[in-house]
A and B are shown apart, each in its own frame.
Chain A
């Protein structure tokens, strides 16, 4: 093998990497969608109580099912996506717990500003994850 053949082989490998990269952008959509859903869930939760809280909670459950179905249908599973996805989910769930605790403890239930800021904080790990995912290659 000479220098030109080696360079051509490297160029072909890079071209294949780019092809796979183009097909591996779907996690960005999933994370942005998850962020939007979590924002809607937490914002709505601030204005409902009792059994009505099951309605926003059901959005999260429905989305989680859709996300798993959508991810399973994809032709390319990006390297390290599951780890990054779980990190965003765990961070989002922890913030969700803190948000609910603050709403109850500080008597902010029904406060639009607290609901908006809190929901944005809970959704932030998913939006940050989407940003990181879009720059992961």
Chain B
């Protein structure tokens, strides 16, 4: 029987770096790539790699555009990603509150 809230944790979001990325994206409609990089304190290649994984899971959408002549990349949480993050947070809260303990 599966009852401990850790079973509700999302495998994709569970990684600390991806959790941070998703937490940043969850607080807004869309966020510029460089802002996420600075907020999570990681390098461009690391963020690209993690975003690719989140994109493959269907949690993040990458939007390319321009600000004037400068190319810019935006990251946006998909509805599935937002739902997964909400579930993940609920599981974390349940664990922090001691749910599932004997």
Q: Are the CB atoms of B31 and A75 closer together than 8 Å?
A: yes
Binds B, one of A78-86, A94-102, A108-116: A78-86
Cα(A40)–Cα(B98), bound, Å: 58
Q: How large is the interface on A (under 10, 10 to 19, 20 to 34, 35 or more residues)?
A: 20 to 34
Partner of A16, one of B9, B20, B67, B95: B20
Cα(A76)–Cα(B95), bound, Å: 31
A–B Cβ pairs within 8 angstroms, 30 of them: A1-B9, A1-B95, A2-B95, A6-B93, A7-B96, A10-B92, A10-B93, A12-B16, A13-B23, A13-B26, A13-B89, A16-B23, A16-B24, A16-B27, A16-B39, A19-B24, A19-B39, A20-B39, A23-B35, A73-B67, A75-B31, A75-B32, A75-B34, A77-B29, A77-B30, A77-B31, A79-B27, A79-B29, A81-B29, A82-B29
B interface with A by C-beta (< 8 Å)? 6, 9, 16, 19-20, 23-24, 26-32, 34-35, 39-40, 67, 74, 89, 92-93, 95-98
